[in-house]
Structure 1
């Protein structure tokens, strides 16, 4: 049976890269495996795939009863395939919190507090004496750059930096130059609708009894996004009404200056004020030094809602 490998909905560069890399690892270990995606490829990821001439994974439309799957870059049920309950999860590679996850049988579960799932997979190659091709090295490097914002994010660990240092040689790229070009490729928002902006990199979290949606956009011009605030608010309010979210936060991160601006809506909007010690003005506030959804946004809002 072919292993189906995929990351979370609204895939980012780590999710797509890790699915492709994990499938390469499984094939080298002698298993039949195929990488899939649960959504459209974003501009940043497209840049990485095109640069290293790697074909994007096929879109996964459904799972069949008994399908064997490997999850990468996520574990929470609401972030996974809609029919994930149909499948048998055999492995997980992740670097996020563990929540809403259980299986009927035993499995291989590897979660490490590093900046990127690809950093873990780089170690798996080495532990099993497997070959890292230029293409796979390039994808892992791209994922690390993306998730750590070129090592500016507080999620960055020494393991991420060491892995990137090794991988850049195999990938044959200048780390700083390639990294900035890739990040900038995904930073323009002019050609995106409000609906695309709030859903492109968005995840749903259960925080106690509250349902929280957190979207993030990496940009080089924050005003380019907030000049469309009313349009964005209309799109967000439509999502809140449709999905009954208690809180929807849009985090717009300046990748050059390592700050963010938040737009918060919903019944629990004031939790953002408590979480970051700010006062919302027209539903927005500057979050100095905040760039990581995983390490800074999710934990702070979780505490504010508790």
Structure 2
């Protein structure tokens, strides 16, 4: 039976490309594996796939106890494919926190504190003496550019930077030129619906007994998006009511200035003030220097909840 490899729901560039890259590695190591995606391909990712002439993976809606899978770029079950609890998980390759995860059998689990899953995958290629083609190098460097905002994010490590430059040599590209064009390709919001904006890159986190939804949108013009604030509030409120979120946070990140503006709604929206030492004005605030959901937003909100409500 073919191994199904996929990343998290609402896939970003790291999730899509890491699934493709790991499937190729497994195939070269003699396993029958195929990459999948759990959602639509965003414009940034589409730019990278087109540039390196690689097809997007087939969509996967759910898995069952008959499926054997490998997970990339996530491990929390609520972010994974419906039915993941019943599937046989052979491996996890990730760079996030480990939470809400357990299996009935041993597995290969590799989660490293780096800025991108692709950084870990490049190591695994080298450890297995498997050649990295130009196409695979291009996919991995695209993931690193995306997750580290071209090495500007605080999640960036020396390993990410070293890996990015090595991959750029293999792919034979100008990092600055390609990186900025790729990021800009995904930064336009004018043609997206409010629903697409709040769900395009959103993850649910269980923080104690609270359900927290954190969406992030990368832009080059924050004001352009916040001109649609009333529309965004309306659709976020519907999401809160439908899914019983205690907090819904939309983080709008300016990729050129490395700052964000947050929109917080829900019963516990005030926790954002404690988390970032800001005052919300009409449920919004500027978060200077905040660009990383993984390293800056999630940990700060968790700590604020612990101090305010426990």
Task: Answer yes or no: same fold by TM over 0.5.
Answer: yes
Find the counterpart in structure 1 of residue 126 from structure 2: 126
- Aligned partners of 2:275 and 2:62: how far apart in 1? 38
What CA distance in whole angstroms lies between the structure 1 residues aligned with 2:61 and 2:251?
29
SS in 1 for 2:85: helix
Q: CA deviation at 1:66?
A: 2.7
- Distance (Å, rounded) in 2 between the aligned partners of 1:213 and 1:305: 14
Aligned to 1:12: 12
For 1:256, what is the secondary structure of its paired residue? coil
Match of 1:28 in 2: 28
Is 1:82 aligned with 2:76?
Answer: no
- Quote how far apart the aligned CAs of 1:172 are: 1.4
Q: Counterparts of 1:1-306 in structure 2 under 5 Å?
A: 1-306=1-306
Partner deviation per Cα, 1:261-288 (whole Å, 9 max, x = no partner): 0000000001100000000001000000
1:169 shift after superposition: 1.0
Q: Where in structure 1 do 4 or more consecutive aligned residues deviate above 2 Å?
A: none
Give the C-alpha shift of residue 85 in structure 1. Answer: 1.8
Structure 2 contact 236–265 (Cα < 8 Å) conserved:
yes
Give the SS at the match of 2:161: helix
In the alignment, the residues of structure 1 paired with residue 188 and residue 276 of structure 2 have an alpha-carbon distance, to the nearest angstrom, of: 27
- Report the secondary structure of 1:238's partner residue: helix
Displacement after TM superposition at 1:62 (Å): 2.5
Instruction: Please give the alpha-carbon distance, in whole angstroms, between the structure 1 residues aligned to 2:65 and 2:142.
Output: 34
Q: Work out whether residues 64 and 84 of structure 2, in 8 Å CA contact, stay in contact via their aligned partners in 1.
A: no
1:10-55 deviation per Cα after TM superposition (whole angstroms, max 9, x unaligned): 0000000100000011001100000000000000000000000000
Structure 2: distance between partners of 1:223 and 1:205: 27
SS at match of 1:118: helix
Deviation at 1:289, TM superposition (A): 0.1
Question: Deviation per CA, 1:114-165, whole angstroms, max 9, x where unpaired?
Answer: 0000000000000000010111100000000000000000000000000001
State the shift of 1:6 in Å: 0.2
RMSD across aligned positions (CA) = 0.5
Distance across 1 between alignment mates of 2:2 and 2:261: 43
SS in 2 for 1:156: coil
Cα offset for 1:61?
2.1
Please report how far the alpha carbon of residue 86 of structure 1 lies from its aligned counterpart in structure 2 after TM superposition: 2.5
State the alpha-carbon separation in 1 of the partners of residues 101 and 66 from structure 2: 17
Gaps in structure 1 of 5+ consecutive residues:
none
Number of residue equivalences: 306
Shift of 1:67: 1.0
